[in-house]
Structure 1
Amino acid sequence: MKCFCYFKDRSRSRQRRSAPELKTSGTSDTSGAADRLIKSSCSATSPRGIPELYEEKAHNLRVFRFSELRQATNDFSRLLKIGEGGFGSVYKGRIKPEDGRGEPVLVAIKKLNQDGVQGHKQWVAEVQFLGVVDHPNLVKLIGYCADDGERGIQRLLAYEFMPNKSLEDHLFNKTYRPLSWEVRLQILLGAAQGLAYLHEGLEVQVIHRDFKSSNVLLDEEFKAKLSDFGLAREGPTADRTHVSTAVVGTHGYAAPDYIETGHLTTRSDVWSFGVVIYEVLTGRRSVERNRPRSEQKLLDWVKHYPADSKKFIMIMDPRLENQYSAGAASKIAKLADSCLQKNAKERPKMSQVVQSLMEVAQTSSGDRSPIEKSFDSPENCPTAPENEASQGGASESWKRRMAHLAKLGEQVEGSGRRRFLMMQRAKVQ
Structure 2
Amino acid sequence: MTRKFFGTDGIRGRTNQMPMTAAMALRVGQAAGAHFQRGQHRHRVVIGKDTRLSGYMMESALISGFTSVGVDVVMVGPVPTPAVALLARSMRADLGVMISASHNPFEDNGIKLFGPDGYKLSDADEAAIEARLDHEPKLVAPCDIGRARKIEDARGRYIHAAKATFPDGLRLDGLKVVIDCANGAAYQVAPAALWELGAEVVAIGVSPNGLNINDGCGSTRPEELRKKVVEEGAHIGIALDGDADRLIVVDEKGAIVDGDQLMALIATRWHRRGILRGGGLVATVMSNLGLERYMEGQGLALVRTRVGDRYVLEAMRANDYNVGGEQSGHIILTDYATTGDGLVAALQVLACLVEQEKPASEMLRLFEPLPQLLKNVRFAGGAPLEADTVKSAIASAELKLQGKGRLVIRKSGTEPLIRVMAEGEDPALVEELVDSICEAVRAA
Greater Rg over alpha carbons, structure: 1
State the TM-score bracket (shorter-chain normalisation): under 0.3
**TM-score normalised by structure 1 residue count:** 0.23
Bigger share in helix: 1
